[in-house]
């Protein structure tokens, strides 16, 4: 059984409250439950982490290496567009493949959202598929083993 950490960054704790037309109506716990349910037939152990603090996200990424995780699914939130610290953390644990996920289609939104500095450290980016993007990311990682 493979171990995958699902990391959610800044403002994702506000799901269900913020811009429901963009991010949907599930709250954060609902999102985690949705992912667990949709991945229940996959041979995978999922762990979840969320923080609004860049350094805590970096620490979680580092811990994936020391705790023997096989893959990382990460939605950095707004950190996507400027966090070279998260990019470097993903590269630092690069024996562990990471997939970047975005609930919304960042490529069809405001200009600043179209740029991801973290995607270059990941094996794939999935955007605009709503909550199912996380499920696709898990499947993508499992297909790499």
Nearest by Cα to 133 from 115, 111, 107: 107
| Residue 126 and residue 101 in contact, taking contact as beta carbons nearer than 8 Å | yes
**Given 23, 69, 87, 134, the catalytic residue:** 23
Residue 102 known to be catalytic? yes
| Residue whose entry in the numeric block shows the structure tokens 């995780």 | 69
How is residue 71 written in tokens? 């893959």
**Which residues are CB-neighbours of 47 under 8 A, at least 6 positions away?**
3, 4, 5, 6, 69
**Given 79, 87, 102, 134, the catalytic residue:** 102
Catalytic residue ranges: 23, 102
């Amino acid at each position: 059984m493979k171990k995958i950490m699902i990391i959610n960054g800044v403002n994702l704790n506000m799901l269900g409250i913020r811009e429901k037309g963009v991010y949907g109506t599930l709250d954060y716990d609902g999102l985690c439950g949705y992912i667990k349910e949709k991945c229940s037939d996959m041979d995978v152990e999922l762990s979840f982490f969320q923080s609004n603090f860049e350094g805590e996200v970096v620490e979680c990424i580092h811990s994936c290496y020391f705790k023997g995780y096989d893959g990382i699914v990460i939605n950095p939130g707004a950190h996507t567009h400027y966090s070279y610290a998260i990019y470097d953390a993903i590269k630092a644990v690069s024996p562990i493949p990471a997939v970047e996920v975005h609930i919304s289609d960042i490529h069809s939104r405001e200009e600043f959202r179209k740029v991801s500095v973290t995607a270059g450290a990941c094996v794939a980016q999935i955007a605009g598929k709503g909550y199912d993007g996380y499920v696709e990311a898990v499947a993508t990682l499992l297909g790499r083993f």
